[in-house]
Amino acid sequence: MKYGFLRVLPGFLLLAGGQGSTLAAGVGDPFGTDALVPPRPALHGPAREGATPCSAPQSAAPLALVEVVDLALCNNPQTREVWANARAQAAQVGVAQAAYLPGLSGSVSASRNWTDKEAQSSPYDQNGAGLTLSYLLYDFGARDAALENARQLLAAAAATQDSTVQAVFLAAVQAFYQAQASATALGAAQESERASRESFNAAEARYKIGSATPADKLQAQTAWSQATLNRITAEGSLKNAQGALANVIGQDAHRPLSLAPAAEVSPGDAFERDVNALVEEARRRRPDLLAAEAQVRAAAASLDAVRAAGRPSVSLAASSNLLNVDGSPATHASSLGVTLTIPFFSGFAPAYRVRAAEAQVDARGAQRDRIRTQVALDVWNAYHNLHTATQALRTSTDLLNSATQSEQVALGRYKAGVGSILDVLNAQSALASARQQRVQAALNWNVSRATLAQSMGSLDYGLLQTLPGVANTGEQTKP
């Protein structure tokens, strides 16, 4: 093995090793596919420009809605998964672009051979090395269709990422307000328990002086026990809501979370617009509909690629080979040629591939149409749910005010000896119910606003600035 083969072998190994180490290190992006990848899911807004995406909170201060949403977008496994899928699909675009470049491969061989010549063994060595260059010149659009398919699938992956971000965004908003509502409901239950205890003390005092019956004392004690049970239930609901919130932001449920105090809500009329215009706007912006439309275009491109696969192709091929046989001079051979490949018959498989691709286009089109009608239903439901929640919130305010005054009057009359304990207990029960309805109405209103924005594909940082519970960022809050 001292011939020309040994001189070219190190070059082959260096070339193969260098190429492998480069790819393994992830260095190099000749087609610029990194620029095609959508940004990492995170909360983006004017006040957050220049900040490192998904950076850890700088302090242990209570979390406001902005921080909760940012943590959810950065840490929720769903957003990490769709971002990884988008990066993988961007790499597939690079794979499709690579088909436009020539391919170069090398081969080396070494063998020891024996021949029997008149019962005598005559071993000899045979070594070879070669380079082969291949380049597809024309394929009737198969490469173009494959590249278009990869690009449309990337567009679909990016839109799917946006859709998942919107879903996680909404889940974080819902979990935040649910935790806030549960804390407020606990406070209301504690206040109802205090009032019930006060009623019991008043009934007991009147019973001791003989101005109340034992039934009054027992009824008051029953109401107090019921209020205590309601408070215990509210404490458990708060723990569950805090665990659900921790899960949304990618943390363990048993880790405690501190939230900023809930702000008072005041409904406005800014959302009241023509629902037809909202539906049309949603159809332009909804990422899941955009993803479905990209899937239709990708299926059409795949159909073009399948059709082109059954057509002729023209390729350029060049090779250079070095052969050395022990005991003889090394020989060198080269070739250059053009190959025309014409597929005549392959068992009807191309025809069935075309039929399958055509059916796939129809399936993707039906999926797009289904999502298109679902968008209209989502907007319609979200719009009217918000309208109902707004009216309920306004009414719950009046209900709470009147129930508070009624309870104060009934308790005052009973303490003065001119009212009955039933009037007090009924008034306190109505007040407790009004408090809970107020909490639920505020929760429904906050969530309904975010749900309408999500149904239109516009749930973003700007909307957070209009919702209660957002930390002061120094920006002008939208009306």
Q: Measure the CA–CA gap between 36 and 39, rounded to whole angstroms.
A: 9
165 Cβ contact list (under 8 Å, min separation 6): 41, 73, 79, 82
Q: Measure the CA–CA gap between 117 and 138, rounded to whole angstroms.
A: 51
Report domain extents, the chain: 61-104+140-310+348-462
Which token pair is 381?
């439901």
Write down the residue that tokens 């993803």 correspond to: 291
Write down the residue that tokens 């049309």 correspond to: 280
pTM of the model: 0.81
End-to-end CA distance of the chain: 84
Q: Measure the CA–CA gap between 464 and 479, rounded to whole angstroms.
A: 12
The alpha carbon of 260 is separated from its chain's Cα centroid by a whole number of angstroms, namely: 25
Q: Measure the CA–CA gap between 465 and 448, rounded to whole angstroms.
A: 16
Strand order in the sheet with 313-325: 103-113, 124-138, 313-325, 331-341
What is the CATH superfamily name and number for domain 61-104+140-310+348-462?
Answer: Outer membrane efflux proteins (OEP) (1.20.1600.10)
Give, for all 479 residues of the chain, the pLDDT tens digit. 343 444 444 444 444 444 544 443 445 789 999 999 999 998 876 655 556 667 766 667 788 888 899 999 999 999 999 999 999 999 999 999 999 999 999 999 888 877 776 656 677 788 889 999 999 999 989 999 999 999 999 999 999 999 999 999 999 999 999 999 999 999 999 999 999 999 999 999 988 888 888 898 999 999 999 999 999 999 999 999 999 999 999 889 988 788 888 677 766 655 556 788 889 999 999 999 999 999 999 999 999 999 998 889 999 999 998 888 876 788 888 999 998 989 888 889 999 999 999 999 999 999 999 999 999 999 999 999 999 999 999 999 999 999 999 999 999 999 888 889 999 999 999 999 999 999 999 999 999 999 999 999 988 887 776 666 544 433 333 32
Q: Measure the CA–CA gap between 273 and 399, rounded to whole angstroms.
A: 28
Q: Measure the CA–CA gap between 194 and 200, rounded to whole angstroms.
A: 10
According to the model, what pLDDT value does residue 28 have? 78
Q: Measure the CA–CA gap between 187 and 174, rounded to whole angstroms.
A: 20
What Å distances lie between residue 269 and 309, 382, 387, 475, 479, CA to CA?
58, 15, 9, 22, 10
According to the model, what pLDDT value does residue 225 have? 95
Amino acid sitting at position 87: R
